[in-house]
Amino acid sequence: MSKPSPEWNTVTEGAATKINFDKIGDVFIGTLVGRTEIKPENMDPFDVWQFHAAGGEGLEEGELVNINTSYGLSELAQIAPGTLVRLQYQKDVPTNKGNPMKSFIIQTKAA
């Protein structure tokens, strides 16, 4: 995967890789870019959290990734872009709607 040239200002990095948390215990580590709106053609827009991956699990270091927003990740709004973040899928929490909510351990590390 090619990386943007550092002597240019990046307007967009292109399509990001989608990250899913399928199993309790799944972990993702990356540098927070921020929250952005995706506007697919013929669909309602939605927000995602974007990160640059730290590598591992088939991801290249610096690869742009998307993680769907959820109540379980709402605390990411309190973290400054550029912060190294570790997300761990902790457990499922029952809801009245029948679909369990994913609960996460969110950790940061000073650069």
The answer to the question of residue 9 being in a domain is: no
Q: What is the pLDDT of residues 17-57, one digit of tens each?
A: 999 999 999 999 999 999 999 888 899 999 999 999 998 87
The answer to the question of residue 22 being in a domain is: yes
Residue 91: CATH number of its domain? 2.40.50
The structure's pTM equals 0.84
Whole-angstrom Cα distance, residue 29 to residue 83? 11
Give the domain extent around 54.
17-109
Number of folded domains that form the chain: 1
Whole-angstrom Cα distance, residue 66 to residue 21? 12
The answer to the question of residue 11 being in a domain is: no
